[in-house]
Amino acid sequence: MSSLTVSLVQTQLHWEDKVANLQMLQQKIASISQPTHVIVLPEMFSTGFSMKPEVSAEKMDGATVQWLKEQAAKKRVIITGSIIIEEGAHYYNRMIWMLPTGQYGYYDKRHLFAYAGEDQHYTSGNKRLVASVNGWKINLLVCYDLRFPVWARQSFSAEQPFEYDVLIYVANWPERRNTAWKALLQARAVENQCYVIGVNRVGNDGNNIYHSGDSMVVDPLGEVLYHKVHDEDIATLTLDKEHLNTVREKFPFWKDRDAFMIINPPAEQ
């Protein structure tokens, strides 16, 4: 059965300094010597968790998306992480899924962190993105989305019992609430019978808020396969499809699920 190899980049970020962040991340990406399918960067990897989109936002044909294209092509790998995008009259915390061909998909963060005023500066997304690579389906989500299990919940059908195999969360999640971060990553894995990858930043941001990282990889039974706290780190792990299928077959808890429907609000004009 196919496996999936993923590289997690847990790093400090230069506050609202795109040039410095892209130079730093380019070096880290180049340093990954093991073969990998996907490289995962943190939320707002080019700026940090900035509430100044009018200063830092770019269009989809801007420098950071072009940088992603170049790095993915050079490394022949998929690269994902979120950046600040301006589209129309709105700003989005947008997670890009960049293929080495230059083609891409994207997910706009659904749940905006009102506690920090994100909802006052950004527009919420209203659709999920489930990407595919090497026979795996991957659901892409951002930071605060982690607190809302319905949005991440597997949708099942007779033809396709499981909508996805992996959940990826990219984040700028503060250390002061890292207990919730770690517990919820494990909960999402257990309840959805999937692998979960959480990639967080480390260090102080421009508001002097400390981030401990705590990037994790969790298997479908909730077992932690990787966990790194405080330090910068680049970790490459291979996920086992046979293990995933065995868990789902041995423990078919999904058959006892509750039926539900997500009703999206109308898109802002």
Q: Are 261 and 22 in contact (CB under 8 A)?
A: no
Q: Please report, for the chain, the start and end positions of each structural domain, with discontinuous segments joined by +.
A: 3-255
Name the pTM for this structure: 0.96
Rg value, the chain, Cα: 18
Task: Name the maximum alpha-carbon separation found in the chain.
Answer: 52
Question: Is 70 exceeded by the pLDDT of residue 234?
Answer: yes
Q: Select the more confidently predicted residue: 2 or 188.
A: 188
> In this predicted structure, what is the pLDDT of residue 267?
54
For residue range 160-218, what is the model confidence (pLDDT) as tens digits?
Answer: 779 999 999 999 999 999 999 999 999 999 999 999 999 999 999 999 999 999 999 99
At 76-89, the pLDDT tens digits run 999 999 999 999 99
> Residue 108: is its pLDDT beyond 50?
yes
Q: What stretch of H or E contains 18?
A: helix 18-30
Instruction: Kindly list the catalytic residues.
Output: 43, 109, 143
Does 268 have pLDDT greater than 80? no
pLDDT in tens, 18-31: 999 999 999 999 99
* 266: pLDDT strictly greater than 90: no
Of 57-66, 141-150, 156-165, 226-235, which gets the smallest average pLDDT? Answer: 156-165
Instruction: Kindly state the tokens that stand for 201.
Output: 């930043």
In angstroms, the first-to-last Cα distance of the chain is: 45
Please tell me the predicted confidence (pLDDT) of residue 269.
Answer: 45
Q: CATH classification of 3-255, choosing from 3.60.110.10, 1.20.1250.20, 3.30.70.260, 3.40.50.2300?
A: 3.60.110.10
Is 50 exceeded by the pLDDT of residue 124? yes
